């Protein structure tokens, strides 16, 4: 395993093989520093050797690449950008491809794809920054027609970054300001009342299958935000398997697989949905590179379904190599 990091400036650097270097600490989130090395990816059609240029200018070969594990979140990591880069280099990689990554990173187009497949999603409107600056009253009027509560979220941020819950009309402007700071395209979405259910989907040698569902149980937190997802913040419990009737489990697994197929899913996805009091399933989003921390739902659900963490990684690698 050769760890490669990407700096904020976009440089590929050779990292230390030390997971303790990147703890999820709320006071100081991990960051790849520029250590002066530069990783050289192989050119398509040539040899498959990964090379590194050292700070002193010398170049070393690190061995031939078998497969890349793009363990990246957010823009350039799970939006199809790095996937297209590796496709161009003819380097195998695990996880989602270009199309499903791009679709699921953009919540607007993800909803359109799901709707086209007959999958229920929360009603919403999409607002561009120009619309908001030119006719804020029209945006407020359209949002008012959706009712309350609302969720305001950047279309292409991920990990609940820039997301706000709006419970009063006067909170809308501030929520839009937070979201527009992350993206110039923002969704205003109806808040769905129901249990927050997540199911893990995996592309295996025998086809696509879904795990036992898990549930996000909010005890004091307003919604499942970044802190709750990645930093183990108080006010949320991640439970897997969820307490569900067998017919509910089957329906959730079926919905997860149908959503995965609707976006032309590859490799894996975590499908988040709401189970309403009436029994309806409303898909909230798909994440094509879900968290793999000890508190993350994707690995927890597969472990609960009888697949160990190690075997899960092996399946992801094997799926990438088959492609």
Question: Known binding site for ATP: residues?
Answer: 107, 151-153, 159-160, 189-196, 284-285
Identify whether the C-beta of residue 227 lies closer than 8 Å to the C-beta of residue 291: no
Locate 177 and state its tokens. 């300001």
Q: Taking a C-beta distance cutoff of 8 angstroms, is the pair 57, 102 a contact? A: no
Q: Are 104 and 288 in contact (CB under 8 A)?
A: yes
CA–CA dist 177, 156 (Å, integer): 15
Residues flagged as binding site:
107, 151-153, 159-160, 189-196, 272, 284-285, 287
Closest CA to 67 of 319, 321, 295, 286: 321
Contact 67, 317 (CB under 8 A): yes
| CA pair distance 201, 228, nearest whole angstrom | 22
DSSP output for 83-148: HHHHHHHT--B-S--HHHHHHHHSHHHHHHHHHHTT--B--EEEEEHHHHHH-HHHHHHHHHHH-S
Q: By the 8 A CB rule, do 236 and 223 touch?
A: no
CA pair distance 321, 314, nearest whole angstrom: 11
Please state whether beta strands 268-275 and 195-204 pair in parallel, antiparallel, or not at all (unpaired): antiparallel
Distance between CA atoms of 192 and 260, rounded to whole angstroms? 21
Beta bridge partners of 68: 93
Known binding-site positions for Mg(2+): 272, 285, 287
The H or E element that residue 164 is part of is strand 164-166
Whether the Cβ atoms of residue 48 and residue 72 lie closer than 8 Å to each other: no
């Amino acid at each position: 395993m050769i760890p490669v990091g990407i700096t904020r400036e976009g440089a590929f650097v050779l990292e230390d093989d030390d997971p303790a270097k990147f703890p999820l600490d709320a006071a100081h989130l991990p960051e790849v520093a520029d250590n002066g090395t530069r990783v050289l990816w192989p050119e398509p059609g040539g040899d498959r050797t990964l090379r590194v240029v050292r700070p002193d200018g010398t170049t070393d070969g690190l061995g031939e690449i078998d497969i890349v594990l793009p363990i990246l979140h957010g823009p350039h990591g799970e939006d199809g950008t790095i996937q297209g880069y590796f496709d161009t280099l003819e380097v195998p990689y695990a996880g989602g491809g270009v199309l499903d990554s791009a679709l699921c990173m953009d919540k607007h187009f993800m909803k359109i794809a799901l709707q086209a497949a007959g999958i229920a999603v929360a009603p919403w409107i999409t607002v561009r920054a120009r619309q908001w600056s030119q006719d804020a009253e029209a945006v407020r009027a359209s949002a008012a027609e959706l009712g309350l509560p609302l969720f305001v979220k950047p279309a292409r941020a991920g990990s609940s970054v820039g997301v706000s819950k709006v419970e009063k009309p006067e909170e809308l402007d501030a929520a839009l300001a937070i979201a527009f700071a992350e993206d110039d395209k923002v969704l205003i979405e109806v808040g769905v009342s129901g249990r927050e259910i997540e199911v893990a989907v995996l592309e295996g040698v025998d086809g696509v299958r879904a795990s036992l569902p898990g549930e996000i149980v909010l005890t004091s937190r307003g919604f499942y935000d970044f802190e709750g997802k990645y930093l183990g913040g108080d006010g949320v419990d991640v439970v897997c398997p969820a307490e569900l009737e067998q017919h509910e489990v089957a329906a959730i697994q079926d919905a997860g697989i149908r959503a995965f197929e609707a976006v032309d899913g590859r490799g894996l996805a975590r499908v988040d949905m709401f189970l309403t009091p009436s029994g309806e399933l409303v898909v909230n989003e798909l994440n094509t590179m879900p968290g793999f921390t000890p508190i993350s739902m994707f690995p927890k659900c597969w472990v609960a379904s009888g697949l160990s963490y190690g075997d899960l990684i092996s399946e992801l690698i094997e799926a990438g190599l088959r492609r």
